[in-house]
Amino acid sequence: MIWVAAIKTNMVCIFCKIISGESPAKILHRDDLVTAFRDIHPIGPTHILIVTNRHIDSVNELEPEDESLVGHMVLVAKQLAEQEGIAERGYRLIVNTGAHGGQSVFHLHLHLIGGRLARFAIE
Ligand code: 5GP
Ligand code: ZN
């Protein structure tokens, strides 16, 4: 019962804890809608997560009124890619969704990965 209540209020979500400052992270950007920080297990020289400030489990829970929020996530990723010096050579933007999509943290986030040549296959 306690466990269910905790999930509903997002008390167990690691990204909610990072956004609130309860858990540490290397924060690179913060505004009204999103927070961006370095991934704890980077798979490239640059690996940043752009996370919605509001807890949304995944793309599956997005509503039509979230359209500008999703657009904003991509524009923040573009800005961070420029800041990291990887814009010209290119990068990957990835949103894993659900079990088959390889999502491991169920709080909507966009991966910005760059700084090396990506393998052809999407991992
Ligand atoms: P997903 O697999 O859900 O698309 O991506 C989750 C990402 O979050 C993974 O790349 C993982 O390394 C990262 N991650 C998980 N826990 C933490 C954490 O506590 N801090 C940070 N900075 N990244 C985390
Ligand atoms: Zn959350």
User: What is the arithmetic mean of pLDDT over 22-51?
Assistant: 98
Distance, in Å, from the CA atom of 45 to the CA atom of 47, rounded to the nearest integer, reads: 7
Nearest CA to 12 out of 52, 42, 55 is that of 55
More confident call, 6 vs 112: 112
Please name the residue whose Cα sits nearest to atom 17 of ligand 1: 40
Is 109 a catalytic site residue?
yes
- Interval between CA 67 and ligand 1 midpoint (Å): 24
pLDDT at 83: 98
pLDDT at 121: 64
Please name the residue whose Cα sits nearest to atom 12 of ligand 1: 41
* For the CA of 16, the nearest ligand: 2
User: What is the arithmetic mean of pLDDT over 44-66?
Assistant: 97
- Interval between CA 37 and ligand 1 midpoint (Å): 10
Residue 6 has pLDDT above 80, yes or no: no
pLDDT at 7: 42
End-to-end Cα distance, the chain: 37
Q: Is the CB of 59 under 6 A from ligand 1?
A: no
Distance, in Å, from the CA atom of 50 to the CA atom of 37, rounded to the nearest integer, reads: 7
CB 39 within 8 A of CB 49: yes
From the alpha carbon of 26, which atom of ligand 1 is closest? 22
More confident call, 10 vs 117: 117
* For the CA of 93, the nearest ligand: 1
pLDDT at 120: 67
pTM exceeding the 0.95 threshold for the entire prediction: no
Distance, in Å, from the CA atom of 45 to the CA atom of 75, rounded to the nearest integer, reads: 20
pLDDT per position as a tens digit, 70-115: 999 999 999 999 999 999 999 999 999 999 999 999 999 999 999 9
